[in-house]
Amino acid sequence: MKYYISFIEECIQHPKYLKYTGGRIEVYKKDSPYASEEIRWFTWKVKKFWDFRDKWDMKDVTEEQLKKVKKISQGFCKYPTQLSRNA
């Protein structure tokens, strides 16, 4: 099955996390107008994430490529409850 993926950045307003990037990757089944899945990210590794995003954003992908995107994006998913108190 083919999928289309699109990265959507969201505004980070908490003063402690202003240097972070966060959002979602919307996953669309090839001929559907609605996202069938969202993959979240929240990370302080902004440059590294942007490189990842630039490679995959607005692409048609196979199921195998989607699995790869999901696996990579897990490394960029660090929510405040998973961070040290000094983040």
The model's pLDDT over 40-79, given as tens digits with 9 standing for 90+, comes to: 999 999 999 999 999 999 999 999 999 999 999 988 887 6
pLDDT value for 64: 97
Instruction: Kindly state the DSSP code that residue 83 receives in the 8-state scheme.
Output: S
24/11 Cα distance (integer angstroms):
11
pLDDT value for 49: 95
Strand 2-10 to 59-62 pairing: antiparallel
pLDDT band, very low/low/confident/very high, at 36 (cuts 50, 70, 90): very high
pLDDT value for 87: 46
Residue 54, burial from CB neighbour count under 10 angstroms (0-12, 13-18, 19+): exposed
